Chains A and B, each alone.
Chain A
């Protein structure tokens, strides 16, 4: 053991280790292609697909809840839902859409795309990545089982104190909300650590920070926001948990508890939260727009630094959610000013996107339509957001439908339109077939019209004084017409989602008769398009050397001396081939992440019902952690497994192709056609 310092590399891998994971009953999962493989996979691509699929499942649940709300508000004195049911439905709608839809779709893109955009083989900690996904899934399912166990949470998605106490909310709904989100918070936290390390440590040779695609940049900012925002929510949730389960006095006014503390802690988390929901979509749009305008993004450093600025300034605006809570004129003034300032970096981005489109050769494909949808709809939402910075006006608008209109314009019109564009754009890369364009465009217009019909009238309703979270309204206030329009719009939105899901299956069937889309169906710019579609398990072989932003584009196109774009190579020539032997050693699948995560909801049920169940869950999780710790990340029976899972590439074992050496001749080849001067 002590001679290792001079030992050759081959010894390091196997030396002194037990031949198998040995601890516990679960061996190494075998067989990579059955449905079981999904439960043990550590592949960032499969995990990304699972994140996306699960998020769409929860999106349908949250969408049905939204339709219930809209049906209830169709006419005055609606009787579809009781007041109590209505409280539960809007609380669960908001919670589901934020924590189980928008955040996980961001995580889905981050998981699938980010490693591809930086030329990595996987994330830094593949098993922790799987653990994050299972925590998210179990947390989400735990939260939704409340429907069958006495009703959902009923305090709004932020569950203000003291309304969240046992006195005012005696059902277990808020406990399910609390513990479910704690479990999902573990997913976000471990995911954040994992993805930040991946971006910082696993970039392909030559890819400096300022050559990273913008989506990767925005993922980095997003994950930093998660890293620091989640623990604040966690601390608040523990206080609530102790209050509700163990009669603590944190929000007990009789013992001097301060309900305002919950509001502060919640929004210190909650405002960075809204930025971490929107930034992934900003990143997607910033990567898609240049493709469909055939122009580089306008002002790349400005987009990047405005994203970072949002990441910092997002921490200084939380109290604008609390202008009516009596925080005093100085606080109100300060937070009004910071709120106005944070509009600046967001405005910079909108300017950059617009300037990217100006003078571009715009192709109005479906993803581009969604991009334009985001830019326009988010601008409307952003402008109504700035009006909230005007504290006197905000005092009038607080808790009205004006606020509901605002955040749906930024979250649905912003984040979700970006994600829809991302789905259409990356579908061929992920699944190997293009989604039908005609259906796609219909999908966009249906969604666009439905969205504006639903949420546009809410501005008017809010300014006319209709309050949120109230299960009905009286006739004669002028609310009837606008509510009817909004309900019609909501059902159009539902139709557009149904059309999207239909398109997935329709296009899959039709794709059998169409030629495969190839690696680069959109004539794209970033390196994830350089590899075959669908992406092979090993991502890149060899790992390319990066010389410039939009590397793939500049391997395809050069510029003449008078600035005209000239193709120097076709996508097929530049792209990597799936043919041939690829002896790439990948991180091995593992049972432990799902086992470890599975104990957590059991602990949760135990906290709510019987103590021994918590013990069982605790034992499962502890056993999972130990089994995990003693299982080498790579299969020891594999030819050359490294024991450390902290290598540059988790699978990089020095026995397959060397990135630098192989990519260089390829680069030289691309630059070899010197009819024109290449840029970069």
Chain B
């Protein structure tokens, strides 16, 4: 019954490890496919929250400030730009590990994490400023919807930061060889998704009057 088949071993050994060919029916590895599916599901989660925000974007009269009264568009635009740039550094990190350049991979991963952390810090600053202006979570329907939508996104960025830092530590310890480059790529997928969602949220919340 048991037979070691040379053909299969040979086939796998011939495959380039950097682009680990996964012997799946679709040709897409399980992990990557799973991440794509998960992100598809996330679209609906943010869809629900964005819809809610659109319905509640104006507070009832006399119930605290509206966004236009307190927003600092140049500040948020800058932090949005910082977040979008982190997608570029993420791409560079993926490209670096695929080339086997672990040093650059760590550099770009760290850069991505720093840019992402800057964005989160900006959000914390913005929330604090809004709170001082009199916009608490319970102030109005707008405040609840605003903090929930942007807060959910902030939590997603934070989870991404944790994943990036884990990658960094793994790589430092030498536990992230090239044949696992896909791990970085999958984290990158998540990171790009979080960025894309922010483009949508930024447009819906800050740009559309």
* Chain A positions near chain B (C-beta within 8 angstroms): 1-2, 4-5, 7-9, 12, 15-18, 124-125, 189, 192-194, 196-197, 200-203, 227-232, 234-236, 238-239, 242-243, 246-250, 252, 255-258, 261, 265, 541-542, 580-583, 629, 643-648, 652, 654-658, 661-662
Contact in complex: B12, A202 (CB < 8 Å): no
Is there contact, CB below 8 Å, between B4 and A655?
yes
A646 engages B144 (CB within 8 Å): no
Contact of B137 among A248, A648, A654 (CB under 8 A): A248
Please report the C-alpha to C-alpha distance between residue A234 and residue B178 in the assembled complex, in whole angstroms. 37
Q: Which residues of B contact A1 (CB under 8 A)?
A: 102, 174, 177-178
Smallest CB separation, B12 vs chain A (Å): 5
A194 to chain B, nearest CB (A): 7
| A54 CA to B51 CA, complexed, in Å | 36
In chain B between 47 and 64, which residues have their CB closer than 8 angstroms to a CB of chain A? Answer: 47-49, 51-52, 55-56, 59-60, 63
Contact between A9 and B145, CB atoms less than 8 A apart: no
Whether A249 pairs with B9 at a CB distance below 8 angstroms is no
| Chain B residue with the shortest CB-CB distance to A254 | B60
**Given A197-B33, A200-B25, A255-B63, is A658 in contact with B5 using a C-beta cutoff of 8 Å?**
yes
Known: A4-B177, A658-B3. A193 touches B8 (CB 8 A): no
CB nearest to B44 among chain A residues: A231
Q: Are A629 and B166 in contact (CB-based, < 8 A)?
A: yes
Q: Which 10 A-B pairs have the closest CB atoms?
A: A235-B48, A201-B24, A231-B45, A658-B5, A648-B23, A646-B30, A231-B44, A248-B144, A646-B31, A256-B60
Cβ-neighbour of B174 out of A16, A236, A643 (below 8 A): A16
Tally of contact residues, B, Cβ under 8 A = 63
- Per DSSP, are chain B's interface residues mostly helix, strand or loop, or mixed? helix
Nearest B-chain residue to A226, judged by Cβ:
B41
> Is A648 within 8 A of B175, CB to CB?
no
Among B13-21, B66-74, B78-86, B88-96, the stretch in contact with A: B13-21
- The answer to whether A252 and B1 touch across the interface, beta carbons within 8 angstroms, is no
- Taking CB atoms, residues of chain B closer than 8 Å to A231 are 41-45, 47-48
Knowing A189-B41, A192-B37, the reply to whether A646 touches B141 (Cβ < 8 A) is no
In the complex, B156 has a CB within 8 A of chain A: no
Cβ B138 vs Cβ A239 within 8 A: no
Task: Spell out B's residues near A (CB within 8 Å).
Answer: 1-5, 7-9, 12-13, 16-18, 20, 22-26, 28-34, 37-38, 40-45, 47-49, 51-52, 55-56, 59-60, 63, 100, 102, 137-138, 140-141, 143-145, 148, 152, 166, 174-175, 177-180, 182
Known: A231-B44, A234-B45, A238-B148. A124 touches B30 (CB 8 A): yes
Asked whether, in the complex, the Cβ of B18 is within 8 Å of the Cβ of A644, the reply is no
Q: In angstroms, how far is the closest chain B Cβ from the Cβ of A212?
A: 11
> Which residues from B are CB-within-8-Å of A644?
20, 31, 180
Q: How far is the CA of A582 from the CA of B182 in the complex (A)?
A: 32
Contact call A256/B56, Cβ cutoff below 8 A:
yes
A200 engages B33 (CB within 8 Å):
yes
Please measure, in the bound complex, the distance between the C-alpha atom of A420 and the C-alpha atom of B17, giving whole angstroms.
Answer: 48
B2 close to A200 (CB less than 8 A): no
Known: A1-B174, A125-B30, A197-B30. A12 touches B44 (CB 8 A): no
Known: A2-B100, A201-B24. A646 touches B174 (CB 8 A): no
The residues of A that contact B141 with a CB separation of less than 8 Å are 249-250, 252, 255-257
Residue of B nearest to A626 (CB): B166
* Chain A residues within 8 Å of B152, by CB: 238
In contact, B22 and A647 (Cβ under 8 angstroms): yes
Q: Could you tell me the distance between the alpha carbons of A486 and B175 in the complex, rounded to whole angstroms?
A: 64
Distance between A432 CB and nearest chain B CB, rounded to angstroms: 22
With contacts A235-B48, A647-B22, A648-B23 taken as known, whether A249 is within 8 angstroms of B138 at the C-beta atoms is: yes
Nearest residue, chain A, Cβ from B50? A235
A661 touches which of B5, B13, B30, B55 (Cβ 8 Å): B5
With a cutoff of 8 Å between Cβ atoms, the chain B residues found around residue A194 in the complex are: 34
Asked if residues A201 and B25 are in contact (CB atoms below 8 Å), the reply is yes
Given A1-B174, A124-B30, A654-B8: A256 and B22 interface contact (C-beta under 8 Å) = no
Known: A232-B47, A541-B1. A647 touches B23 (CB 8 A): yes
Q: How far is the CA of A43 from the CA of B26 in the complex (A)?
A: 24
Q: Are B138 and A228 in contact (CB under 8 A)?
A: no
B24, A656: Cβ atoms closer than 8 Å: no
User: How many whole Å from A249's CB to the nearest CB in chain B?
Assistant: 4
Contact B148 A248 (CB under 8 A): yes
Check A227–B41 contact: CB distance below 8 A. yes
CA distance in complex: A351, B51 (Å): 40
Residues of B within 8 A of A124 (CB): 30, 34
Q: Give the distance in Å from the alpha carbon of A197 to the alpha carbon of B24 in the complex.
A: 10
For the complex, what is the distance from the CA of A261 to the CA of B180, rounded to whole Å?
A: 44
Contacts of B182 in A (CB 8 A): 646
Contacting residues, chain A, for B100 (C-beta < 8 A): 2, 5
A227 to B100, CA, bound (A): 35
- Tell me if B37 and A227 are in contact (CB < 8 A): yes
Asked if B30 contacts A261 (CB within 8 A), the reply is: no
Compute how far the CA of A609 lies from the CA of B33 in the bound complex, rounded to whole angstroms: 39
Q: In the assembled complex, which residues on chain A have CB atoms less than 8 Å from the CB atom of B144?
A: 242-243, 248-250
Contacts of B38 in A (CB 8 A): 189, 193
Measured CA separation A648–B2 after assembly (Å): 19
